[in-house]
Structure 1
Amino acid sequence: MKYNSPWIKVLNKRNVLKIVHENRPLSRSEISEITGLTPSSVTRITKELIEEGFVQEVGSEGKNSPGRRRILLDIKSDAFISLVFDVGVNVTTYGLGYFDGTVTLGGSFETPKAPEKFFEKVKEIFDRYSATKKINRVSLSVPGMVDMEENRILMAPNLGWRDVVINDFLKLDIPILADNEANLSVLAEKYHSEDMKDVKEAVFIVIREGVGTGVLIDGKLYRGPTYTAGEAGHMTVDMRSDKRCHCSNRGCWELFASINWAIQHYEGKLEGKNAIEKFASLKKKQDSRKVLEKLAENIAIGVVNIVNILNPQIVILGGEVQDLGEYFYRIIEEEVKRRALKDATKELKIRPSIFGTVSSNLVGAAVLAVENIIENVT
């Protein structure tokens, strides 16, 4: 592809904003060193970014020549606001995402089973926020496969949604974004976690009513040519199983590694009107240790397959199991190291997500909006 001069200027501008975003705060001279752009070009670009509200000067430090201090640049976190949704099988959480990739929670509602009812609720919340704030993007985390080119939910098995074209249900005058929940969780970890800064290969596993995986390869999120990559929850782990999955196959990993499995195999009484609430109840029971240990083993079986195939440096677990404590992760790690290829586990780290009150996929939805805003800078 041949680039003309105006297009090169746009690409340089996006690159500078991305670098400020990822390395903030930093000086103009540092931007010049990182990008290879001349100091005058950096000065021109940063002047535009400041005028357009993307970047701000936040002070100074050190001296790069006698009598002069370096002026530092940072992004303006409230420059652009997105309305973000974590679409759960039973409960949907929403909040506001900011230009620094952070989120403030807004509330939650029971997820309607019909897509049209769900998007009516989204529009209602959008209208409420828009009355007092300028919303730049709506970004959705979906428990299923999303064709991002067509903005189409290909399949969300546990919701029973298939071939849902989002823009047919939600008509707004701003961009509407959506991606798989595990993909967004990888984005969130890559953006916010210190131990992910230099990682090229990683896998995020979301354990909820289903099991989803997001895959980072060569430092980039891998979605696949038809946006179905990372559906490890639907790999077959029991060829003789008569249990049918929501995807219509039998013996899928998520039938044994989701919170539904633990709920079904716990022999006591659980409180709650949905799987999330029942699993929260289960975790508090004194006699739940045995079933949770078995759940850890079931999760480990799938992790073994993932590790042998992808050789990731980090495997991160999120969703409803991330707070289960050291014993839970020790079981998974020991089982993975016992079963997986030895060389594949040499540098392997298995840990829970760093996110707690605000879910990784909700934060990821905010990061997705940030990336989209940067990609559309002109």
Structure 2
Amino acid sequence: MTGRTPAATQGSGPWHPDDGPGRILELITSGRARTRSGIARITGLSRSTVGQRLDALFEAGLVREGAASTSARGRPSRALHLNESAGIVIAVDIGESRTRVAVTDLEARVLADAVEPLALSEGPEALLGRITATVHEVVRDAGAGGRPIAGIGFGLPAPVDYEAGHVLGWSIMTGWDTYDIRAHLRADWPVPILIDNDVNLLTLAEHRRFWSDQRNLLYIKAGTGVGSGMVIDGRVHRGSQGAAGDIGHAHVSGFGDPQCRCGNQGCLESLVGGWALARDLGGGRPGEEGDARSVVEHVRRGDSRAIAALRKAGRVLGESAAYATSLLNPDVIVLGGLLGTTGGHLMAGVREVVYQRSLPLATRQLQIVPTRYKSHAGITGAAHLVRDHVLAPATLDSALAAGSSPFPAP
């Protein structure tokens, strides 16, 4: 795969008689149809045509059929499932101070992973070289060295041009702007490489795993930095240049204008980000900048100043969340990040202000909840990003029509 990576299509439209095996697989993976008769009923295709479409998926190793069972009408049927072992996904979640590398199956289940203390300050060439070495180790640990690689999903703590696959604009990733990450990785893996902002991957993981029945979701990550991701009408919304959801660097009035690390003043992150709270609490060692972990340590020790600061931060964050609620009218707001999952102090402030500031129509059925993920959310999102792309009907049908395997041999 070369050049730009097109975005995968989610939520395909009405069935068309010419639709190929890719749409059949979509029906199976979405759970809309899990038997031959169910596929025939939804598509209007004959049983023989359904069989032909399925044969292509069986031959590619993408679908497996379970043992026969008897339905309520007494007709035996076999449940159809995605063959999660047909390929593996390499998932990489780069953080500000640590990077997680994992190998997953096609259901985004982690087969093996490793966490490395890799610093962004090392620069792209050195850091990607170390990540490459770690990937080889993790693939070996997973016992997956002989299995085809479906693709690589990469999460970055920075704005990302999703189509071009590189960091774009100001970020904490100094020296990464426009660096060709795909070209670097493709020297080892000539497979689809999907690169996105880390919060978009958290959003994708949350939606696919827990909220797939909701069409509109807002995810807010409150950690050392602050960001958000949006699912609108079932799709991750990235904006024109990948800058959608950069809530942390929107100005918030009425709370002073402290200096933000982006260079502006009065950004939300400069008020509620983990580094900002650590600054106010004196959470870092002399000459060092504190982070969300240092704040959480204070809170877990019962530090009353830290608890009060986190509750106040929740109310400030709630101001931005209330504005987003009026603008987007989400079904659910999910609060994640290290600060968002520490004792409910931040959540209480967010809920209080959102329900005060937003119109009743926007909050009538709104759910504001903490993330259910304890770990691996970024990795799971990266795996779903790859799966959505390689199993997109158009992508899959093109590969099958060319007579090639949907996943390259390792």
* TM-score (ref. length: structure 1): 0.88
For the residue of structure 2 that corresponds to 1:26, the secondary structure is: coil
Find the partner of 1:302 among 299, 313, 320: 320
Residues 83-102 of structure 1: pairs in structure 2 closer than 5 A:
83-102=90-109
Cα separation, partners in 2 of 1:58 and 1:155, compared to 1, 3 Å: farther
After TM superposition, give the deviation of residue 307 of structure 1 in Å: 0.8
- Look up the match of 1:142: 156
SS across alignment from 1:163: coil
- Distance in 1, matches of 2:268 and 2:195, equals 25
Matching of residue 236 in structure 1 with residue 236 in structure 2: no
Could you tell me whether the CA contact under 8 Å between 1:63 and 1:69 is conserved in 2?
yes
Q: Deviations over 1:280-335 (max 9, x none)?
A: 42331212321221121122121111112111111111121343234542332112
Per-residue CA distance 1:94-151 (angstroms, 9 max, x = gap)? 2112211222451111233211111111221233345552333221111122112211
Change (3 A) 1:123 1:20: same
- Indicate if the aligned counterparts of 2:103 and 2:139 stay in contact, CA closer than 8 A: no
The counterpart of 2:37, out of the listed 29, 41, 49, is 29
Q: Secondary structure at the match of 1:372?
A: helix
Distance in 1 between residues matched to 2:251 and 2:91, nearest whole Å: 33
Is the 2:153–2:194 Cα contact (8 Å) retained in structure 1? yes
Q: What residue number does 1:278 align with?
A: 294
Aligned to 1:50: 58
State the secondary structure of the residue aligned to 1:162: coil
**Aligned in 2, Cα 1:130/1:328: closer, same or farther, shift over 3 Å?**
closer
Letter in 2 for 1:343: L
The answer as to whether partners of 1:95 and 1:107 remain within 8 angstroms in 2 is yes
The letter of the residue matching 2:295 is F
Partners in 1 of 2:276 and 2:101 — Cα distance? 27
Retained in 2: the 8 A contact 1:143–1:156? no
Cross-structure match for 2:390: 373
Kept in 2: contact 1:263–1:282 (CA 8 A): no
Q: Kindly, what percent of the aligned residue pairs are identical?
A: 25
Partners of 2:204 and 2:384 within 8 A in 1:
yes
Give the superposed CA RMSD.
2.6
**Among 108, 128, 131, the residue aligned to 2:137:** 128
Cα distance 1:301–1:49, how it changes in 2: closer, same or farther (>3 A)? same
Distance 1:34 1:280, change over 3 A: farther
Contact 2:159 2:171 in 1 (8 A): no
Aligned residue type for 1:189? E
1:342 and 2:360 correspond:
yes
Q: Secondary structure of the residue that 1:84 maps to in structure 2?
A: strand
CA contact (8 A) 2:312 2:349 kept: no
Task: Tell me which amino acid in the other structure corresponds to 1:81.
Answer: I
What is the alpha-carbon distance in structure 1 between the residues aligned to residue 33 and residue 341 of structure 2? 32
C-alpha distance after superposition, 1:196-248 (max 9, x if no partner) = 23211111111222111111112221112222222122211138854333333
Q: Provide the C-alpha distance between the structure 1 equivalents of 2:291 and 2:17, rounded to a whole number of angstroms.
A: 51
Q: For residues 96-175 of structure 1, what are the structure 2 equivalents within 5 Å?
A: 96-112=103-119, 113=121, 114-129=123-138, 132-133=144-145, 134=147, 135-155=149-169, 157-160=171-174, 161-170=176-185, 171=187, 172-175=189-192
Q: 2:8 matched to which residue of 1?
A: none
Amino acid at match of 1:92: T
Question: TM-score, normalized by length of structure 2?
Answer: 0.82
- The Cα offsets for residues 3-46 of structure 1, whole Å up to 9 and x where unpaired, read as xxxxx888531111122112188211112233343322221122
CA contact 1:157–1:246 (8 Å) conserved in 2: no
Q: Which amino acid aligns with 1:285?
A: R
Give the structure 2 partner of residue 4 of structure 1.
Answer: none
| Conserved 8 A contact 1:239-1:251 | no
Equivalent residues of 2:311, 2:348 under 8 A apart = no
| CA contact 2:225–2:273 (8 Å) conserved in 1 | yes
Structure 2: 5+ residue stretches without partners: 1-15, 401-410
Measure, in 1, the Cα distance between the counterparts of 2:368 and 2:255. Answer: 29
Unpaired runs of 5+ residues, structure 1, are 1-7
Partner residue of 1:363 out of 380, 390, 399:
380
- Greater percentage in strand: 1
Classify the secondary structure of the residue corresponding to 2:179: strand
Is 1:262–2:277 an aligned residue pair? yes
Partner amino acid for 2:151? R
Q: Hey, what does 2:49 align to over in structure 1?
A: 41
1-structure distance, mates of 2:198, 2:241: 16
Number of matched pairs? 367
Matched letter for residue 223 of structure 1? R
Distance 1:104 1:205, change over 3 A: farther
